[in-house]
Structure 1
């Protein structure tokens, strides 16, 4: 089992609540307040989990500046009151930022008994194969 420090545990909680508020805000027809709270909690939770310095280094790497601009720009647009436009920008930036983690996440989920079999269903398997592809079109193992 992975041992977490107290600040990492707090960060996991903040990140989880952030994802919950973002999801709930989208379900409730892009509620501005819920999306804003979700954005703030997600970014704060990420900072607690990996630390402020590593969060700053992650977001402001030279090759990730476009993704960071879209993600943080989307957060800003949601905060000023345009939730639909902000979430579109944010989702695009999120996929650009975290696309390197998708093959790892899919590989992890494949090892979970029930979820692994769900990933092999006809409609889902194509999306899973696409998510497992690297940047150069090769499947990652």
Structure 2
């Protein structure tokens, strides 16, 4: 495997997974504020453990990431102060702006997972084949 995952990174990925789970659960349960706040705490702790404290601080304070950081923190503020729908929208935009540079690496990692990799690769292969046929 191209990526080595030590115990600390496994914990970080687990916390991020719990964050996604609680976000999903909070949205399903009509934007429950408590679950969404808990999901944010899990995600932030998971990113901090996965990347390291210094890298996380550099990610959020980098000059090119100010728009994403401000949007994410404003979304967190809205979730804590009873506007969860607006908060989730702002947080999704902030995450896309902050972690947009990680998508190619994440795609390579997801394609290497034994069963899930094939499921993720199949639509990409299908679209590529359709592009070849119709061009």
CA 1:51 to 1:110, structure 2 compared with 1: closer, same or farther past 3 Å? closer
TM-score by length of 2: 0.77
- Determine which structure has more spread, i.e. the larger CA radius of gyration: 2
Match of residue 64 from structure 1: 65
Match of residue 97 from structure 2: 96
Match of residue 32 from structure 2: 31
Corresponding pairs, count: 124
Quick check: 1:59–1:68 contact (8 Å CA) kept in 2? yes
Match of residue 40 from structure 1: 41
Higher mean Cα deviation, 61-70 or 109-118? 109-118
Query: Deviation at 1:116?
Result: 3.2
CA 1:32 to 1:55, structure 2 compared with 1: closer, same or farther past 3 Å? same
Quick check: 2:110–2:120 contact (8 Å CA) kept in 1? no
Aligned residues: CA RMSD: 2.4
4+ aligned runs moved over 6 Å, structure 1: none
Name stretches of at least 5 consecutive residues in structure 2 with no aligned partner.
129-135
Match of residue 15 from structure 1: 16
Name stretches of at least 5 consecutive residues in structure 1 with no aligned partner.
127-141
